[in-house]
Structure formats: structure tokens, C-alpha cells
């Protein structure tokens, strides 16, 4: 098949060329959900939109950059974006912020919208479902930086935390305090294509194995966002579970609210360690032991790398150091109870 055109997409979706154009530019006011789905299905089948985005994004300079985040509610994200914005402000470059709530379709729509605004580069939390989009941008030499996550076998600069190390620290701290039955709560990782979630599960599983803890003690709760109560209820109803690793500050906040409602005593009834050192972890009574990731440093380096690409620095040279990875740090506080020796 030759070069795919907007008319090919329109024919495949059974709509007009102008309707496809409106969809690509994020104008959905007079478009039904069914029509949007048909257009998106045609785009994916024909692999059309990535090439259009790449052409549009590389057209001219605008002194604006796009930042597409996965969850704006996270303290980690807030601190990271603040560092990115501060760095670009020094260069008189404006930032356009988009929040996807980990929805790959919404990310596609934002990429279309950013293309219409002719941004000079994009920093984003990637999702493997949009790999073809990133591939097209990459092949067009459009400045692109991944943050917090990676996509395997895709030559894009990435700035991340050592996520396996993060849950290793959390899990080992619980084990060192006598805990064997340790649960881990994570947002979907097995089918989501979100690399940091997978890394955190791997770190937890490997630490249990290295400490000779039987597989029967493995408890991974994979929950949908904003649907955490059923998992928390199951954890609190299982008396054998004495330790809990929460893989984000958003999950920590949700769990603390639920535990308070249920009257669960921390750490006497359940010891907890959370990834992300949210401010409220210090003000909670007891103070929560956390695994800190340097959000500001991650954000600042992401911005610096994007600026390098925008200014013509050789990407191959920068790729030699990628992924750029930061190490986590454990912040010991009061939320882990030391079990008596058996």
C-alpha cells in the first residue's frame, strides 16, 4: 500500500475528510463517540496519524513544549512538572501541560492537539500502546524525551527511577523487621505496558525469593485506578498479612483514608512502606516510612535533555547514557512494626 492519506482514513471510517481533520485537531464538540471510535480504529488500522503528527510537529519553531503526564494528582508528578517548568522558563519557553489519567487514547488526542500548536518538543510518560506514535516521531527526529517510564527497543531518551530498587528497599525493610507475609498493591501492570509498574513488581518478587520466602506468601494486588477499596478490604481481612508495600503516593493516600475509616492501627496491625515521599506522609500519625525518588532532579534532567535535542545536540551521543536512571532513598519513620523473633 502506498502513502496513506487523510482521505483513506475518511473512506475507511465512512466519514468526510473534514470530520477526520476535526478529530485530528481535537475538535469533538459536534462529533459522536461512535464516530470518534470509527475514526480512531481507521487511524490505527492504516497507521496514519503518527506520520501526520511527525510532519506537523517538525514544521516550525513556536517556543512552546508539551508535557504529557499520566496522573496529575501525584505529588511526584507535581514536583517533576514544577522542575520542568522552571527550567524552560529560564529559556523563555512556555509549557503546555496535558493529563491523560493513563488513558492511551487521550494521549493520542493530546499529541494531535500539540501537533496543531506546533510545539518544539514533548516530554511524556509513555504507554506501550502508543508505540507507533513514538516511533514515527523518533524517525522524524522530533525532540522527544520519556520520563518515569521506558519503551523497550525504542531509541528515545528516557529519565527514570531505578524502580526495581525502590520496591527492593521497601520489601527488604519489612523483612528485616520480621515480616514474611508482605502484600504489594499496584495499579495494572501485566497488560498496561507501564514499565515502572512492572519494575516495582519485579523488585518485590525478587526480594521475597532472595530471602527464601515461600511463594505462598506472595500477594500482589493489581487494582484499577480509583477502585482500591475492594483490594484494601481483602488485605485487612487477611490476618496473615502483616506488611504492605504501596507503589505510589496516590495509593498511599487512598489506603490511609480507608484504614482510618476501618479503625486499622498502623503499624501495630499492619506495617506499611510506600513509594514516593509525599508531604502528607510526614504529617500522618504515625509518620509513614517511604521510598523517595528525586522528582525535581528527574524533571530538571528531562528538560535539559529536551533542550539539548531542540538545540541540535547529537541524539546518538546522548543515547549512549540512556536510560538516565536515578537511585531511590528510604526515609525511615514510624509505620513499620518490628515483630518479635519466632
Helix orientation angle between 49-57 and 104-116, rounded to the nearest 10 degrees:
40
Res 342: pLDDT: 45
In three-state form (DSSP H/G/I as H, E/B as E, the rest C), the secondary structure along 106-172 is HHHHHHHHHHHCCCCCEEECCCHHHHHHHHHHHHCCCCEEEECCCCCCCCCEEEEECHHHHHHHHHH
Question: Nearest to residue 99, comparing CAs of 79, 116, 78?
Answer: 78
Same domain, 40 and 149: no
Q: pLDDT, tens digit, for every residue of 98-149? A: 999 988 889 988 988 887 788 999 999 998 888 888 888 888 888 999 999 9
Number of domains in the chain: 3
Is 333 contained in some domain?
no
Q: How many alpha carbons lie under 13 Å from residue 124 in its C-beta half-sphere?
A: 32
Same domain, 28 and 139: no
Same domain, 271 and 301: no
What CATH number does the domain containing 33 carry? 1.10.260.40
Is 57 contained in some domain?
no
Q: Report which of residues 286 and 42 the model is more confident about.
A: 286
Same domain, 180 and 283: yes
252 to 119, 184, 204, 226, 276: CA distances (angstroms): 35, 12, 17, 12, 9
Same domain, 284 and 316: no
Is 181 contained in some domain?
yes
Is 341 contained in some domain?
no
Same domain, 172 and 227: yes
Same domain, 14 and 86: no
Same domain, 106 and 192: no
Same domain, 241 and 228: yes
Res 99: pLDDT: 97
Give dist(CA 36, CA 53) in Å, integer.
18
Is 90 contained in some domain?
yes
Q: For residue 114, what are the domain limits?
A: 62-160+295-326
Which residue among 277, 293, 309 closes a domain?
Answer: 293
Res 235: pLDDT: 92
Same domain, 252 and 172: yes
Is 340 contained in some domain?
no
Res 75: pLDDT: 92
User: Is residue 340 predicted with pLDDT exceeding 50?
Assistant: yes
pTM, whole model, 2 decimals?
A: 0.81
Q: What are the grid coordinates assigned to 121, written together?
A: 518538543
Is 168 contained in some domain?
yes
Res 176: pLDDT: 97
End-to-end Cα distance, the chain: 69
What CATH number does the domain containing 74 carry? 3.40.50.2300
Is 264 contained in some domain?
yes
Same domain, 118 and 261: no
Same domain, 268 and 169: yes
Amino acid at each position: 500500500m502506498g502513502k496513506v492519506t487523510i482521505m483513506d482514513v475518511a473512506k475507511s471510517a465512512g466519514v468526510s475528510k473534514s470530520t477526520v481533520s476535526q478529530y485530528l485537531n481535537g475538535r469533538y464538540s459536534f462529533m459522536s463517540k461512535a464516530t470518534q471510535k470509527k475514526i480512531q480504529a481507521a487511524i490505527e488500522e492504516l497507521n496514519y496519524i503518527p506520520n501526520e503528527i511527525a510532519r506537523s510537529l517538525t514544521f516550525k519553531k513556536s517556543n512552546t513544549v508539551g508535557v504529557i503526564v499520566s496522573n496529575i494528582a501525584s505529588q511526584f508528578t507535581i514536583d517533576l512538572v514544577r522542575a520542568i517548568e522552571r527550567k524552560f522558563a529560564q529559556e523563555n519557553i512556555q509549557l503546555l501541560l496535558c493529563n491523560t489519567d493513563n488513558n492511551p487514547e487521550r494521549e493520542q488526542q493530546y499529541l494531535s492537539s500539540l501537533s496543531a500548536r506546533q510545539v518544539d518538543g514533548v516530554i511524556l510518560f509513555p504507554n506501550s500502546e502508543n508505540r507507533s506514535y513514538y516511533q514515527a516521531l523518533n524517525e522524524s527526529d522530533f525532540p522527544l524525551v520519556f520520563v518515569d517510564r521506558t519503551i523497550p527497543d525504542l531509541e528515545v531518551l528516557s529519565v527514570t527511577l531505578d524502580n526495581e530498587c525502590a520496591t527492593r528497599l521497601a520489601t527488604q525493610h519489612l523483612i528485616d523487621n520480621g515480616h514474611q507475609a508482605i502484600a504489594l498493591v499496584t495499579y495494572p501492570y501485566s497488560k498496561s505496558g507501564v514499565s515502572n509498574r512492572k519494575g516495582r513488581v519485579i523488585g518485590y518478587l525478587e526480594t521475597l525469593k532472595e530471602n527464601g520466602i515461600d511463594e505462598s506468601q506472595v500477594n500482589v494486588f493489581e487494582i484499577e485506578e480509583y477502585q482500591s477499596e475492594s483490594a484494601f478490604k481483602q488485605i485487612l481481612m487477611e490476618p496473615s498479612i502483616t506488611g504492605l508495600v504501596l507503589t505510589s503516593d496516590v495509593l498511599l493516600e487512598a489506603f490511609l483514608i480507608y484504614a482510618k475509616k476501618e479503625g486499622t492501627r498502623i503499624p501495630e496491625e499492619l506495617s506499611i512502606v510506600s513509594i514516593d515521599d509525599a508531604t502528607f506522609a510526614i504529617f500522618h500519625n504515625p509518620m509513614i516510612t517511604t521510598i523517595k525518588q528525586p522528582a525535581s532532579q528527574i524533571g530538571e534532567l528531562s528538560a535539559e535533555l529536551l533542550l539539548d535535542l531542540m538545540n541540535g545536540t547529537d541524539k546518538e551521543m546522548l543515547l549512549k547514557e540512556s536510560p538516565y536512571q536515578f537511585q531511590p532513598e528510604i526515609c525511615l519513620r514510624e509505620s513499620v512494626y518490628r515483630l518479635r523473633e519466632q
